[in-house]
Amino acid sequence: MRVKVSWTKTQPRDDRGVALIAAVMAVAVLLAIGLSFAFNMRLEEKCAANYMYGMKAKYLAKAGVARAVAALKIYANNSNYLWANYSTLAQGWAVGYSGTIEGGEFDVRYTRTIAGTGDENNTLLDVQSDGDVNGHIIRGIIDEESKININTAQNDLLEGLPGIGDSKANDIIGGRPYLTIAQVITADNIGLGIFYGDDENDNHLLDSNENDGVDDDADGVLDGGIEDLITVSSPTITDPAGGGIDVSPVNVNTANERVLRAVISTASVGIPDVGEATRDKVVKAIIEYRTGKDYDDGSNIGGGNPNPFDGIDSNRGDGIDPTVTGFSSDGLDNDGDDDGSDDAEDTYLFAGGARGEFNALIDYLRSNGYHQGAAISSDAARDNIKDNADPSSVADYDGDGNPECWTTPFCFRSTYFQIISEGTALDPAGNVAASCKIERIVGPIE
């Protein structure tokens, strides 16, 4: 049998393009991996640089805080500095400090943006002394004892704050203790309007809805709340007169107008026999006195140099003599505590001649008046203002058998401060690479 076998010839496959495609794909994969690696390296580099600049800015801000603390300690302990042991806005610490370190700078200079204008204002005495100037504190050193402590303030003192009456004062007291000033917003009937004033969104600008007559007076002015007037950080003492009342004294050398108005309250709120006209003129007189103005005509005296309550009063042209009340300027046991020593209590609370100088001013305003008219209307008002400001007074104000203050005493130096420091890190070209702001309460500075 014959078997016929047939063969079919097939064309061989052409694989020449496959190798090329495979090579291209391999190159593409390698390229993707390389690009990804390069991108990640670049990203890591940027992240590392950002972290480095951020940390540098943070430590520059901390350097600003350390610089401010060192300066405060120098002013508190070096008698070569003007008004040593007395905290005043005329001392260098109040203006603040700045410095340059390789690769960056720190800034603790007092700067404030005036609400509604966007302008920065560095005129420390004008801004901090004028209760009508409101705005956002960008940076600086702020005296905590220039404010009212909401953890210790009595009802009569709280009532003197803007927007606070008897009911809201009781609400604030009922919400204690507060760890931060912002916590007061959580107290009954104390909301954003009381805390921020007209500026409820806290952007420091007069928006249309803040000047429309709804929850504001539509006067074209961004009225401030209590935010810049209160603290939880000023020191607390027990009334040395034995009344058992914890108080936080306010520094009469640094307090602004609105705080002074609360401390020297009217008879309807706290201090008997003191009317609104008396209070307002005494407050204006205190501010003018410490800025170096004369009471007879309001002119600058001593070249307009600052004149804090320090028991020295070298820039005075108005005849006020701090020695007439029996106080000397050495701070030695002139306060009535009879401990026989020049101790911290004497310096902080009673301050020797400084309190005598304050009392002499009040006496002068009663006997000689004020260049804008009579300042203190009666001897009783004069005595009550001095007694309220002096923690050594043993007057029984309310007849309950216990000596006490209606609002809170005055002190003449401060030991607790808020420091707002801003650190800025620069890149090699000198451009701002990162910034950091630190707010810190420091004290006691002694």
Q: What is the pLDDT of residues 225-253, one digit of tens each?
A: 888 889 999 988 775 555 566 788 899 98
Above 70 in pLDDT, residue 366? yes
Above 90 in pLDDT, residue 341? no
At 440, which amino acid appears? R
Mean local confidence (pLDDT), 135-139: 72
pLDDT in tens, 273-282: 888 888 988 9
Helix (H) or strand (E) holding 107: strand 104-107
**pTM for this model (two decimals):** 0.78
Distance from C-alpha of 291 to C-alpha of 243, rounded to nearest angstrom = 34
**CA nearest to 164, candidates 114, 227, 211:** 227
Q: Which two tokens stand for residue 384?
A: 């009550």
Above 50 in pLDDT, residue 326? no
Q: Which of the two residues, 338 and 390, has the higher pLDDT score?
A: 390
Q: Which of the two residues, 60 and 324, has the higher pLDDT score?
A: 60
**Percent of the chain's residues with pLDDT above 70:** 65
Instruction: Determine the pLDDT at residue 388.
Output: 86
CA distances from 271 to 165, 263, 378, 397 (A): 15, 9, 13, 9
pLDDT in tens, 390-431: 776 655 555 555 555 778 888 888 889 999 999 999 998 889
Distance from C-alpha of 129 to C-alpha of 274, rounded to nearest angstrom = 22
Instruction: Determine the pLDDT at residue 162.
Output: 83
Distance from C-alpha of 348 to C-alpha of 330, rounded to nearest angstrom = 13
Above 90 in pLDDT, residue 440? yes
pLDDT in tens, 118-133: 455 544 544 554 444 5
